[in-house]
Structure 1
Amino acid sequence: MGKKRILVIGSTSTSLINFRGDFLKKLKSEGFDVYVAAGHWREGVFETLEREFEVTPLKYELQRTGLNPINDLKTIAQLKHLIKDNKIDLVFPYTVKPVIYSSIAANANNVPVVSLITGLGFTFTGLTTKAKLLQRLNEFLYRRYVRKNKAIIFQNKDDKQLFLDRKVLSSANRIEVVSGSGVNLDRFKYKKNYKQDSKISFLLIARLIKEKGIGLYIEAAKALKPKYPNAEFHVIGPAQDSPSAIKVEELNALNNNGTLIWHGLQKNIVEHLTEKDVFVLPSYYREGVPRSILEALSVGLPIITTDSPGCRETVKKDFNGFLVPPKQLKELIEAMEFFIKNTDKVEEMGKNSRHYAEERFDVDIINNDLIGIIRSVM
Structure 2
Amino acid sequence: MNKKRILVVASCANSLINFRGDLIKRLIQEGYDVYTAVDSYPDKVLARLKEYGVITPLEYKLQRTGLNPFNDLKTIFNLKELIQQNNIDLVFPYTVKPVIYSSIAANMSKVPVISLITGLGFTFTGLSLKAKVLQRLNEFLYKISIRKNKIVVFQNKDDRNLFFERNILKKINRTEIVSGSGVNLDQFKFRVKDNSFGKTNFVIVTRLIKEKGTHLFIEAAKVLKQKYPDSEFHIIGSVQNSPSAIKIEELESLHDEGVVVFHGSQSSVLEHLSARDVFVLPTYYREGVPRSILEALSVGMPIVTTDAPGCRETVIKGENGFLIPTQNLESLIESMEFFITNPDKIKEMGQKSRDYATKRFDVNIINNNLVNMINSVLAK
Q: What is the match of residue 33 of structure 2? A: 33
Amino acid at match of 1:31: G
Count, aligned residues: 378
SS of 1:226 mapped into structure 2: helix
Is 1:150 matched with 2:159?
Answer: no
Amino acid at match of 1:278: V
Distance 2:217 2:116 in 1: 30
Distance apart, 1:193 and its partner CA = 4.3
Show CA shifts across 1:126-160 (max 9, x none). Answer: 01111111111111111112111000000000000
Distance apart, 1:44 and its partner CA = 2.6
Distance 1:18 1:97 in 2: 19
SS of 2:356 mapped into structure 1: helix
Q: What is the match of residue 49 of structure 1? A: 49
Distance 2:311 2:249 in 1: 29
SS of 1:44 mapped into structure 2: helix
Distance apart, 1:267 and its partner CA = 1.8
Distance apart, 1:45 and its partner CA = 1.4
Could you tell which deviates more after superposition, 125-134 or 37-46? Answer: 37-46
Q: What is the match of residue 172 of structure 1? A: 172
Q: What is the match of residue 366 of structure 2? A: 366
Could you tell me whether the CA contact under 8 Å between 2:36 and 2:54 is conserved in 1? no
Q: What is the match of residue 92 of structure 1? A: 92
Question: Which runs of 5 or more structure 2 residues have no equivalent in the other structure?
Answer: none
Could you tell me whether the CA contact under 8 Å between 2:153 and 2:178 is conserved in 1? yes
Distance 1:210 1:78 in 2: 35
Could you tell me whether the CA contact under 8 Å between 1:40 and 1:62 is conserved in 2? no
Structure 1 length-normalised TM: 0.98
Show CA shifts across 1:209-268 (max 9, x none). Answer: 000000000000001001000000000001111111000000000100000001001123
Distance 1:243 1:299 in 2: 33
Distance 1:193 1:243 in 2: 38
Could you tell me whether the CA contact under 8 Å between 2:84 and 2:109 is conserved in 1? yes
Distance apart, 1:194 and its partner CA = 2.6
Could you tell me whether the CA contact under 8 Å between 2:143 and 2:168 is conserved in 1? yes
Show CA shifts across 1:51-83 (max 9, x none). Answer: 344442111111111001111111111101110
Could you tell me whether the CA contact under 8 Å between 2:192 and 2:347 is conserved in 1? no
Could you tell me whether the CA contact under 8 Å between 2:184 and 2:362 is conserved in 1? yes
Amino acid at match of 1:330: E
Is 1:79 matched with 2:71?
Answer: no
Distance apart, 1:282 and its partner CA = 0.2
Distance 1:148 1:91 in 2: 13
Structure 2 length-normalised TM: 0.98
SS of 1:148 mapped into structure 2: coil
Distance apart, 1:192 and its partner CA = 2.4
SS of 1:263 mapped into structure 2: strand
Q: What is the match of residue 250 of structure 2? A: 250
Distance 2:346 2:30 in 1: 40
SS of 2:119 mapped into structure 1: coil
SS of 2:120 mapped into structure 1: coil
Q: What is the match of residue 60 of structure 1? A: 60
Amino acid at match of 2:251: L
Distance 1:170 1:110 in 2: 20
Amino acid at match of 1:22: D
Q: What is the match of residue 69 of structure 2? A: 69
Percentage of identical aligned residues: 63
SS of 1:173 mapped into structure 2: coil
Q: What is the match of residue 116 of structure 1? A: 116
Question: Which runs of 5 or more structure 1 residues have no equivalent in the other structure?
Answer: none
Q: What is the match of residue 188 of structure 1? A: 188
Q: What is the match of residue 229 of structure 1? A: 229
Q: What is the match of residue 132 of structure 1? A: 132
Show CA shifts across 1:25-56 (max 9, x none). Answer: 11011110000111243343123211344442
Could you tell which deviates more after superposition, 136-145 or 295-304? Answer: 136-145
Q: What is the match of residue 269 of structure 1? A: 269
Q: What is the match of residue 291 of structure 1? A: 291
SS of 1:58 mapped into structure 2: strand
Amino acid at match of 2:84: K
